[in-house]
Copies of this chain bind each other. A is one copy, B any other.
Amino acid sequence: MVSGLAKDAIIQIVDFVTKAIELISDEEKEAMIDLLLKARRDGKKIFVVGAGRSGLVVKAFAMRLLHMDFDVYVIGETITPPVRKDDILIAVSGSGRTKTVVAVAETAKSIGAKVIAITTYPDSPLGKVADVIVRIPGRTKLAIEEDYLLRQMRGIHEPLAPLGTLFEITTLIFLDGVVVELMNKLGITEEDMKEKHANVE
């Protein structure tokens, strides 16, 4: 059984995600799902973008969209077709201020694509360009205080989930929740997804 600080950190992350469920808006989730389903129905493409660990999180979601037969691409990878009117861009940035992510969102928007921003800050530059915002809590004041108490008890000084960890993991798990709703609405089985999974890797 994992013990020590690793255990404390895992529990804190898990607690945070559990509380985040209360804070993430069902309306925002539904708006995101509606846009994705409409794009799929209309033969539109989905593009994803993010930097650092947020970029990894949105790529993990993109893989599942591929497994559900969406026409999906990662901005910046080799195979990236042009963005067209009514395509979707999913942009993930906790701060909403990552420079290249904002630049990509602005360009996509100017072409007529719909931008879904996943961010803690709806008033950020990324939030401002978005058609749909899904607000994911980051390390809030609450979390920081609890974290402080927990650390007092353990006699340590540093946070148990440094930098953007809580935002990144919450976003990943939230998006895996969205995957299940998409599967259900589209009547896609796990077996169908296996069929679309890379077999040469």
Residues of B within 8 A of A104 (CB): 99-100, 200
A149 CB within 8 Å of chain B: no
Residues of B within 8 A of A177 (CB): 2, 5-7, 9-10, 13
A168 CB within 8 Å of chain B: yes
Q: Is the interface of A mostly helix, strand, loop or mixed?
A: helix
A123 CB within 8 Å of chain B: no
**In the assembly, what is the distance between CA of A193 and CA of B53, in Å?**
14
Interface residues of A in 167-199 (CB under 8 A from B): 168-169, 172-174, 176-181, 183-184, 188-190, 193-199
What residues of chain A have their CB less than 8 Å away from a CB belonging to chain B?
Answer: 1-11, 13-14, 17-18, 21-26, 29, 47, 51-53, 56-57, 59-60, 62-64, 66-67, 72-83, 89, 98-100, 103-104, 107-108, 111, 156-163, 165, 168-169, 172-174, 176-181, 183-184, 188-190, 193-201
Show 29 residue pairs from A and B whose CB-CB distance is below 8 angstroms, ordered by the A residue: A1-B21, A1-B24, A2-B21, A2-B24, A4-B181, A5-B177, A5-B180, A5-B184, A7-B21, A7-B177, A10-B173, A10-B177, A13-B177, A14-B17, A56-B59, A66-B81, A74-B79, A81-B196, A82-B198, A89-B200, A98-B201, A99-B201, A103-B103, A111-B200, A158-B180, A158-B190, A161-B180, A162-B183, A163-B197
